[in-house]
């Protein structure tokens, strides 16, 4: 039986085409529609024009400092507060990690994106109780 519910739409902000494509395919496999931007300015323009249910943000794709980028996204679309998942390298600057923790911005190391994407998106979407009932975690603010 096919569901008539609209599919959730996720914006992928990633400067590397191969990673962007992998994320797109992973999202499609999880039942989400994806759209992509290769840099911060293109992403902000897309967020102004279109509705997204979540954002995957690679900090390296942003020419804007991380704190300003997350702030700009949530100012343009308050509905995205708590729905921006930051993809960061294994070694991020302490200032970046502090900012992510201070603003409770969910983040995942680049090396674990493929393994953690399903859980991260489900938690942002409020579906963790249906998909992962045995391990209730609260990584994302509600």
Express each pLDDT in 50-60 by its tens digit.
999 999 998 87
Sort strands 84-88 and 107-109 into parallel, antiparallel or unpaired: parallel
34 pLDDT more than 70: yes
Percent of the chain residues past pLDDT 70, beyond the cut: 78
Which CATH number belongs to the domain containing residue 93 in this structure?
Answer: 3.40.50.2300
122 pLDDT more than 80: no
**Strand locations in the chain (E):** 9-13, 33-37, 54-58, 84-88, 107-109
Q: Does 3 map to a domain?
A: no
Q: Does 16 map to a domain?
A: yes
pTM of the shown model: 0.74
11 pLDDT more than 90: yes
Containing structural domain, residue 58: 9-125
Q: Does 81 map to a domain?
A: yes
Q: Please report the pLDDT score of residue 141 as a whole number.
A: 43
Number of H helices, E strands in the chain: 6, 5
Task: Give the number of other CB atoms < 10 A from CB of residue 110.
Answer: 15
Q: Please report the pLDDT score of residue 139 as a whole number.
A: 42
Q: Does 141 map to a domain?
A: no
Q: Does 63 map to a domain?
A: yes
Q: Does 130 map to a domain?
A: no
Q: Does 142 map to a domain?
A: no
CB contact at 8 A, 49 and 11: no
Residue the block writes with tokens 């009932």: 133
Specify the number of domains making up the chain. Answer: 1
The mean pLDDT of 87-113, rounded to a whole number, is 73
Q: Does 133 map to a domain?
A: no
């Amino acid at each position: 039986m096919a569901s008539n519910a609209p599919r959730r739409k996720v914006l992928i902000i990633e400067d590397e085409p191969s990673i962007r494509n992998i994320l797109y395919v992973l999202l499609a496999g999880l039942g989400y529609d994806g759209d992509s931007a290769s840099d911060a300015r293109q992403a902000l323009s897309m967020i102004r024009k279109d509705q997204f249910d979540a954002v995957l943000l690679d900090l390296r794709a942003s020419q804007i400092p991380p704190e300003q980028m997350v702030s700009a996204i949530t100012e343009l679309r308050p509905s995205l507060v708590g729905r921006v998942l930051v993809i960061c390298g294994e070694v991020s600057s302490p200032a970046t990690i502090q900012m992510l923790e201070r603003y409770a911005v969910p983040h995942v190391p680049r090396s674990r994106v493929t393994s953690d994407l399903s859980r991260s998106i489900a938690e942002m979407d409020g579906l963790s109780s249906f998909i992962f009932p045995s391990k209730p975690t609260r990584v994302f603010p509600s």
